[in-house]
Homo-oligomer: A and B are copies of this chain.
Amino acid sequence: MNNVYIIGVGQVPVQENWDKSLKELGGEAALLAIQDAAIGYPDALFVGNMMAGTANKQLQLGTLLADWVGFHQKPALGIEAACGSGASAFRAAVMAVASGEMDSALVVGVEKMTDSPSAEITASLATAADADLEADLGLSFVALNALIMQRYMYEYHWQHADFAAFSINAHANAVHNPYARFQNTISREQFSKSAMISDPINLLDASPVCDGAAAIIISSTPPRNHRPPIRVVASSSATDTLSLQNRKVPLRLSAAIKSAHDGYAQAGITPADIGVFEYHDAFSIMAALSLESAGFCEPGQAPKLANEGLLRFDGQIPVATFGGLKARGHPVGATGIYQLVELTIQLSGLAGETQVLRPHYGMAQNIGGSGSNITTHILARE
């Protein structure tokens, strides 16, 4: 297998973007990455997206973006694994470059959620759940996460207020990220007074509906420009039952455990080696389960880490260093690529105010569905 390096990145601000279409957002991120890598056009295009068919009435995003950004005749396709589409697209591209079939590839994650009325977006997001066993019973995606959070609080004796620290930390980091949806801090009081969405998940437990696009160029050759060599040292993916009801232990994300374990094995490291962790905090309960399944603490202990300040960018396990899904925003199919762009910036030492102290390894964990499809990537500065 060939080595795979990240040689260029690009991102657009996450926001409610009423001025740009889906292809304009994706194209902008793509061209920024192409400019950054400075190798001309890469050999193929992989696009991660979840809901363009339902929310934007446009499929064929691979071809659409290839056409839009001038990828004359080169191969292109779309990858879908719900909110994990971004990392799944990245992983498919990594395997394509590793195989020698191509020398370089562009991966774009893009999502434009605001084209649809919010009831339709709720329905679109629910397509990530099991239609027969969950969505058709009226369970929205937030409701599924609320069931998990209820159970977690009961099982491990946490109060809702104990989860505030996850969101407060995410917002504190996002203040310094010009690409973040929310560039403001939040307080414990604001968290506790926030509007209830699906008990116990309130507005400040949840990532926002938003638009965004991020892009990465990978190559079998190390970067020849100003960038330090950032290598993909692990790419692993695992699945679980699509429905919560079929899981024996719904509070343990078995696919995340497997995916993280495989990732550590590929990289030959342990959780203690990870200098920065971009986790999938779509909801504060997912932040907790993400940390536990990746081996950063025992089951039921993640809120303790958050409340002790260990998750801060200058703490022991820096997470959501650019705001995470909660505050940078969660344009679903784009999120996995934003995470990898952010890790690249951290490993390059270019993260500014929230720069983690000389990280060698960075890990990103992208989750599709309620823990049903999980892709882990570990990057290393060589």
The A interface, classified by DSSP as helix, strand, loop or mixed, is: mixed
Contact A78 B76, beta carbon cutoff 8 Å: no
Which residues from B are CB-within-8-Å of A78? 79-81
Contact A60 B373, beta carbon cutoff 8 Å: yes
User: Nearest-CB distance from A249 to chain B (Å)?
Assistant: 13
Which residues from B are CB-within-8-Å of A77? 79-81, 88, 91-92, 237, 373
Q: A240 within 8 Å of B by Cβ? A: yes
Contact A53 B56, beta carbon cutoff 8 Å: no
User: Nearest-CB distance from A353 to chain B (Å)?
Assistant: 35
Which residues from B are CB-within-8-Å of A81? 60, 62-63, 76-78
Contact A73 B254, beta carbon cutoff 8 Å: yes
Q: A53-B53, A238-B73, A255-B73 given as contacts; is B99 within 8 A of A58 (CB)?
A: no
Contact with B along A142-154 (1 / 0, CB 8 A): 0000000000000
User: Nearest-CB distance from A284 to chain B (Å)?
Assistant: 23
Q: Which of A44, A80, A254, A368 has the most CB of B within 10 A?
A: A80
Complex copy number for this chain: 2
A positions within 8 Å CB-CB of B? 1, 21, 23, 44, 50-54, 56-64, 66-67, 71, 73-82, 88, 91-92, 95-96, 98-101, 123-124, 126-132, 135, 235-243, 246, 254-255, 258, 368-369, 372-373, 375
Contact B53 A132, beta carbon cutoff 8 Å: no
User: Nearest-CB distance from A227 to chain B (Å)?
Assistant: 24
User: Nearest-CB distance from A61 to chain B (Å)?
Assistant: 8
User: Nearest-CB distance from A24 to chain B (Å)?
Assistant: 10
User: Nearest-CB distance from A268 to chain B (Å)?
Assistant: 16
The complex places the Cα of A331 from the Cα of B347 at a distance, in Å, of 46
Q: A82-B60, A98-B100, A127-B53 given as contacts; is B73 within 8 A of A240 (CB)?
A: yes
Q: Which of B57, B67, B73, B123 contacts A246 (CB 8 A)?
A: B67
Contact A76 B373, beta carbon cutoff 8 Å: yes
User: Nearest-CB distance from A300 to chain B (Å)?
Assistant: 22
Which residues from B are CB-within-8-Å of A236? 75
Which residues from B are CB-within-8-Å of A242? 60, 63-64, 67
Please give 8 more A-B residue pairs, beta carbons under 8 A apart, in addition to A60-B128, A77-B81: A53-B80, A61-B80, A63-B239, A75-B238, A75-B375, A76-B237, A79-B92, A95-B101
Which residues from B are CB-within-8-Å of A92? 77, 79, 92, 95-96
